[in-house]
């Protein structure tokens, strides 16, 4: 394993949380009720915090003097390594909660494994994040249950969100040489054994929510290699404009 | 006069969490170690929540408090392991929270991972009237560390320092 493999792996962990945190923050001031406005802002803040820690560590590993802000604000679209699902527009509230549920469930199993990473700082950050993630997972699962097993309209829209999101989950478990290099050093876990516990958990909740699991996931891919949907560029434009318009500004 | 590590720790008991000003940083459990060598101190701190915006303020205040008492150089180091937990709050700290109107955290329990039905949680006692006739409004509140409840007995909305 080289430092650049570890750097890339940390960018993937950081970018997932930075991009999803940004999407969630778009609910701030637009939540369906005040409590949910506050909840989504809180979860966004947790994710931004986790992104900060992963990207900061990434910058230290890279040793080119880039801190978490430089990595967040001064990389372009093709340098972002997040899962494509996380950059999709926020949609309606049910769509955002369905995405949050699918990702938080994946995140739970991944972070649990990462707490046993041979890399002490990575394990430490994962140990913190996995506790916060439990709140995110429970919160989003409550909404999936409530909307799926709710009114005709909420059920229809929850199912539509699930149908739209499901193909993108194929990317969760895809692995490449970066993963394999880190697995060899026991820094990162093999993702394949996480697939079944994730599917079991998701399947059980969706069943309770009276939702129908779509057919096998298509294997959407490319986010980990910097290939993205048209949506990421727009997201970055909004996220990066202030930092890039006023380089070095402090307040 | 030279300060000992213990003196430095006592100075840190005067540095309050800006968002929960009845808890000092030692009672909060985030100070994981203090070393003093001559007029230089190193303080190891662990964050509460990854994204807690108060952490930066707290680090600056730790530094300022020690510099004010004559130390020349203060380094605040962030450590992540073991991760902070509300189980580290002392009983005395929990009483201070209750007196301030925030229900103290319960023990970190094995809460269900997902909601397979209506979630039933142990009732949190109202910090104002003590009633356990309370309802959880949201597990997310005004800061990352707090949940929102309403007391049915005295009709008072209140916050809970949530178990983490």
Through-space distance between the first and last CA atoms of chain A, rounded to whole angstroms: 40
Distance CA A226, CA A12 (A): 10
DSSP sequence for A148-187? HTS-HHHHHHHHHHHHHHGGGGGGGG---HHHHHHHHTTS
Q: Do both B59 and B94 map to the same domain?
A: no
Give the helix/strand (H/E) hosting B76: strand B73-78
A59 pLDDT exceeds 80? yes
Q: Do both B67 and B27 map to the same domain?
A: yes
Asked which of B56, B78, B100 is the last residue of a domain, the reply is B78
Q: Do both B93 and B151 map to the same domain?
A: yes
Domain membership of residue B26 (yes or no) is yes
Pairing of strands B102-103, B157-161: parallel
Residue/partner pairs of B91-96 with CB below 8 Å, 24 or more apart: B92/B27, B93/B23, B93/B27, B93/B28, B96/B22, B96/B23, B96/B27
- For residues A88-96, give the mean pLDDT: 97
Tens of pLDDT, residue by residue over B114-164, are 888 776 677 899 999 999 999 999 999 988 899 999 999 999 999 999 999
CATH code for the domain of B18: 3.30.300.130
Domain that holds residue B151: 89-161
Please indicate whether residue B133 or residue A221 has the higher confidence score (pLDDT).
B133
- For residues A62-88, give the mean pLDDT: 97
Q: Do both B61 and B94 map to the same domain?
A: no
- For residues B54-64, give the mean pLDDT: 93
Distance CA A228, CA A232 (A): 7
Whether residue A187 contacts residue A117, with contact meaning beta carbons closer than 8 Å, is answered with: yes
- For residues A51-69, give the mean pLDDT: 97
Q: In the predicted model, what is the mean pLDDT of chain A?
A: 96
Distance CA B38, CA B5 (A): 10
A206 pLDDT exceeds 90? yes
- The pTM score is 0.94
Residue to substitute from A24, A31, A34, A49, interface B, most B β-carbons within 10 A:
A49
Pairing of strands B31-37, B40-45: antiparallel
Q: Do both B153 and B93 map to the same domain?
A: yes
Domain membership of residue B151 (yes or no) is yes
- For residues A66-76, give the mean pLDDT: 97
Domain membership of residue B93 (yes or no) is yes
CATH of A3-245, one of 1.20.1430.10, 1.20.1260.10, 3.40.50.2000, 2.60.40.10: 1.20.1260.10
Q: How many domains does chain B have?
A: 2
Residues 6+ apart with CB under 8 A from A251: none
A220 pLDDT exceeds 80? no
Helical H runs in chain A? 3-25, 34-62, 68-73, 93-114, 120-148, 152-165, 177-184, 192-208, 230-245
Contact B51 A43 (CB under 8 A): no
- Taking one residue from A and the other from B, the number of pairs with CB-CB distance under 8 angstroms is 101
Where residue B70 falls (left for φ over 0; alpha for ψ -120 to 50; beta otherwise) is left
Whether residue B36 contacts residue B12, with contact meaning beta carbons closer than 8 Å, is answered with: no
Distance CA A151, CA B123 (A): 29
Tens of pLDDT, residue by residue over A157-180, are 999 999 999 999 999 999 999 999
Domain membership of residue B150 (yes or no) is yes
Q: What is the pLDDT of residue B110?
A: 67
Whether residue B76 contacts residue B62, with contact meaning beta carbons closer than 8 Å, is answered with: yes
Residue to substitute from A45, A98, A202, A251, interface B, most B β-carbons within 10 A:
A45
Is A63 strand, coil or helix?
coil
The ipTM is 0.90
> What distances in angstroms separate CA B150 from CA A99, B94, B130, B162, one per listed residue?
30, 19, 12, 15
Which of A43, A47, A124 is facing B80, going by the closest CB pair? Answer: A124
Contact A42 B140 (CB under 8 A): yes
Percent of chain A at pLDDT > 90 equals: 95
Domain membership of residue B84 (yes or no) is no
* Chain A: residue whose CA lies nearest to B140: A39
Domain membership of residue B108 (yes or no) is yes
Using alpha carbons only, what angle is made at residue A39 by residues A38 and A44, rounded to the nearest 5 degrees? 100
Q: What is the pLDDT of residue B147?
A: 93
Residue to substitute from B55, B81, B114, interface A, most A β-carbons within 10 A:
B114
Through-space distance between the first and last CA atoms of chain B, rounded to whole angstroms: 40
Tens of pLDDT, residue by residue over B99-118, are 999 999 988 876 788 888 77
Contact B113 A138 (CB under 8 A): yes
Give the helix/strand (H/E) hosting B145: none
- For residues A175-192, give the mean pLDDT: 97
Asked which of B58, B78, B98 is the last residue of a domain, the reply is B78
Which of B53, B81, B148 is facing A127, going by the closest CB pair? Answer: B81
Q: What residues of chain A lie within 8 A of the CB of B48, using their CB?
A: none
Please indicate whether residue B19 or residue A122 has the higher confidence score (pLDDT).
A122
Domain membership of residue B116 (yes or no) is yes
Tens of pLDDT, residue by residue over A105-135, are 999 999 999 999 999 999 999 999 999 999 9
Q: Do both B39 and B95 map to the same domain?
A: no
Which of B81, B116, B162 is facing A204, going by the closest CB pair? Answer: B116
Domain membership of residue B43 (yes or no) is yes
Query: How confident is residue A249, by pLDDT bands cut at 50, 70 and 90?
Result: confident
Q: Do both B96 and B40 map to the same domain?
A: no
Query: How confident is residue B1, by pLDDT bands cut at 50, 70 and 90?
Result: low
Q: Do both B104 and B58 map to the same domain?
A: no
Contact A38 B139 (CB under 8 A): no
How close is the nearest chain A Cα to the Cα of B87, in Å? 13
């Amino acid at each position: 394993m080289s430092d650049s493999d570890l750097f890339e792996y940390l960018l993937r962990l950081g970018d997932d949380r930075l991009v999803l945190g940004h999407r969630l923050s778009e609910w701030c001031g637009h939540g369906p009720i005040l409590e949910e406005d506050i909840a989504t802002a809180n979860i966004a803040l947790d994710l931004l915090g986790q992104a900060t820690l992963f990207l900061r560590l990434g910058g230290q590993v890279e040793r080119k003097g880039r801190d978490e802000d430089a990595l967040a604000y001064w990389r372009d679209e093709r340098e972002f390594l997040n899962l494509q699902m996380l950059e999709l527009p926020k949609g309606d509230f049910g769509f955002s909660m369905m995405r949050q549920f699918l990702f938080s469930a994946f995140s739970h199993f991944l972070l649990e494994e990462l707490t046993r990473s041979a890399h002490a700082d990575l394990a430490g950050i994962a140990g913190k994040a996995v506790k916060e993630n439990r709140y995110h997972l429970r919160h989003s699962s409550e909404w999936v249950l409530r909307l799926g097993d709710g009114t005709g309209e909420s059920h229809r829209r929850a199912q539509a969100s699930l149908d739209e999101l499901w193909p993108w989950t194929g990317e969760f478990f895809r692995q490449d040489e970066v993963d394999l290099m880190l697995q060899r050093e026991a820094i990162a876990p093999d993702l394949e054994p996480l697939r079944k516990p994730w599917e079991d958990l998701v399947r059980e909740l969706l069943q309770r929510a009276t939702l129908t699991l779509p057919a096998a996931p298509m294997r959407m891919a490319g986010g980990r290699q910097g290939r993205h949907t048209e949506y990421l560029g727009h997201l970055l434009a909004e996220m990066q404009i202030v930092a890039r318009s006023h380089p070095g500004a402090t307040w | 006069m030279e300060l000992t590590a213990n003196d430095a720790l006592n100075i840190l008991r005067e540095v309050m969490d800006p968002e929960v000003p009845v808890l000092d940083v030692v009672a909060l459990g985030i100070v994981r170690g203090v070393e003093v060598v001559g007029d230089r101190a190193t303080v190891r701190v662990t964050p509460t929540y990854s994204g807690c915006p108060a952490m930066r303020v707290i680090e600056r205040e730790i530094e300022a408090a020690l510099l004010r008492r004559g130390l020349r150089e203060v380094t605040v180091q962030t450590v992540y392991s073991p991760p902070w937990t509300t189980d580290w709050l002392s009983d005395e700290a929990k009483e201070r929270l209750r007196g301030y109107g925030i229900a103290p955290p319960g023990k970190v329990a094995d809460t269900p991972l997902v909601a397979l039905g209506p979630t039933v949680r142990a009732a949190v006692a109202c910090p104002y009237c003590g009633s356990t006739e309370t309802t959880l409004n949201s597990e997310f509140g005004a800061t990352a560390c707090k949940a929102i409840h309403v007391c049915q007995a005295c009709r008072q909305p209140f916050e809970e320092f949530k178990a983490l």
